[in-house]
Copies of this chain bind each other. A is one copy, B any other.
Amino acid sequence: MREVAAIGVGITKWGELWEKSFRDIYVETALLALEDAGVDKIDSMYVGSMSSGLFVAQEHIAALLADYLGRASVPSTRVETACASGGVAMKLGYMEVATGVSDVVLVSGIEKMTDVSGNEATYALGTAADQEYEGYHGITFPGLYALIAVAHMEKYGTTREQLAMVAVKNHKNGSKNPVAQFPFEVTVDQVLNSVKIADPLRILDCSPITDGAAAVILCPVEMAKKMQKPIVKIIGAGQATDTIELSQRKDLTWLNAVYLAANGAYKMADKKPEDIDLVEVHDCFTIAEICVTEARGFVEKGKGGEAVEQGLTAIDGKISVNPSGGLKSKGHPVGASGVAQAVEVVKQLRGECGDRQIPDARIGMTQNMGGSGASAVVHIFERE
C-alpha cells in the first residue's frame, strides 16, 4: 500500500445558499481544492451525498458534477451512507490512491437542504432511520437522539447542563470559523432556555439544516513530495455498521459502530486515543458528541459529559474536539460533513486555522456517522 496525502482542500461559506444552485456550490468548492492542491488533472472522483434525490430531485450527481467541473470522462462515483456519506467517500478515495488504482482523486461531499420546506427536509433526513420500524411510528432524529440522551442521563448521571456545554464549546470554536453557518457564541442559559424539540433536547442542542460542500484532493505522498506540498498523510481508516434501529441495541448509549471504526483506524495507524491532538466528531446533537467521546476511547463509558464540563475537550483542553465548530455551529449539509471534517483537520495540521488554530497540532482524527450511528467511519491524519 502506498502512503496517501491530502494535498488540497476546499470549502466555502455554509448556510442557506438560495442564490446558488447545487452544481454551483459543488464546482466552486472543488475548484478551491484543485487550486490549493495545484493540480488540474484528476483520475477519479467520489461524491458523498445523502439524498440529492429528495433534497434537489437529482440523482446521478457523480456524472453531473464531473461534467460541470469540466471533467466529463473521469470515473465518478456517488457514495451514500446517510450522514456518513462524506466520510465513506474519503475512505474510498483513500483506498483508490493507497492501492495504486489512481494517483489523483477528488473526494467531495455535498448537500443542498434548504430548497425544500422544513417538513420535507425532516422527511428526507428521516430516511436515514429505519422507515418501517422507526419512521412509520413517527419518530424523527431529534426523537431518536433524545432517547439516547435520556438513557445516558439515567445510566450515568449526565446532566442537562453538560449537554448544553457541548453546544457552548462548539459555538465558541465556530465563532472563529469564517465558513460556519452560525458563527456566534451561545451560553448555557441560552441553550437551556431555547425551544424544546424532543425532551431533553432543545433547538440549541441540534445541528442545523445547511447547504454546503467540501472537497479534498488525495494523491500518493511521493507525488506530494515532488510537488513540494506540505504533507498531511492519512494513516488510518476504519468503517463499521450497527443495527439501523436504535431499539435493537443492547445499550442505547453505546455507539458500537463508532467503537469498531475507531479501533480499525487506530490499529492501521498504530496509534492510541491519547496520541490524537484534535478530533472532528459528528455532533449532530449535543448528546452525540458525548457518546462519541466515549466510543472512540477518549474517556471511559459514561464520562463524556464530565469531559466537556472539565474542559478536556475544549480547544485548549487535553484533546480539542470540534475546533471547526462542529456540525453544531459550522452547519450540517449531511453528505458534506464528513469531508468538511477532513478539511478542518488538514488545515489544523498545516497551521492555517487563524484564531482557532491548535498550536503545533500533529495528529488529527475525523469521526463521521449516519443515522443514529448505524454507519460510522473514522480517519486518522498525521502531519509529516
A64 at the B interface (CB under 8 A): yes
Q: Is there a chain B Cβ closer than 8 Å to A82's Cβ? A: yes
Copies in the complex: 2
Are A77 and B79 neighbours in the complex by a CB distance under 8 Å? yes
A residues 300-331 with Cβ under 8 Å of B? none
> Which of B82, B100, B243 is A60 in contact with, Cβ under 8 Å?
B82
Establish whether residues A79 and B78, one from each chain, have CB atoms under 8 Å apart when the complex forms. yes
Known: A63-B244, A374-B63. A77 touches B73 (CB 8 A): no
Bound-state Cα–Cα, A58 to B92, Å: 23
A128 within 8 A of B: yes
A131 engages B58 (CB within 8 Å) = yes
Within 8 A of B (CB), among A20-61: 21, 23, 50-51, 53-54, 56-60
Q: In the complex, how many angstroms separate the beta carbon of A255 from the nearest chain B beta carbon?
A: 12
* Complex-state Cα separation, A81 to B80, whole angstroms: 11
Taking CB atoms, residues of chain B closer than 8 Å to A256 are 73
Pairwise interchain contact A127-B244, C-beta atoms closer than 8 A: no
* Residues from chain B with Cβ under 8 Å of A370 in the complex: 60, 63
With A50-B59, A241-B62 already in contact, the answer to whether A79 and B76 are too (CB < 8 A) is no
A195 interface contact, C-beta 8 A? no
Q: Which of B73, B98, B124 contacts A241 (CB 8 A)?
A: B73
Q: Is A140 an interface residue (CB 8 A)?
A: no
Q: Is the pair B64, A257 in contact by a Cβ cutoff of 8 Å? A: no
Contacts of A62 in B (CB 8 A): 80-81, 241, 375
User: A residues near B, CB below 8 A?
Assistant: 1, 21, 23, 50-51, 53-54, 56-60, 62-64, 66-67, 71-82, 88, 92, 95-96, 98-101, 124, 127-132, 135, 239-245, 248, 256-257, 260, 370-371, 374-375
Q: List 14 A-B contacts (CB under 8 A).
A: A1-B99, A50-B59, A53-B124, A54-B59, A59-B127, A60-B370, A60-B374, A63-B81, A63-B241, A63-B374, A67-B242, A72-B243, A76-B375, A95-B96
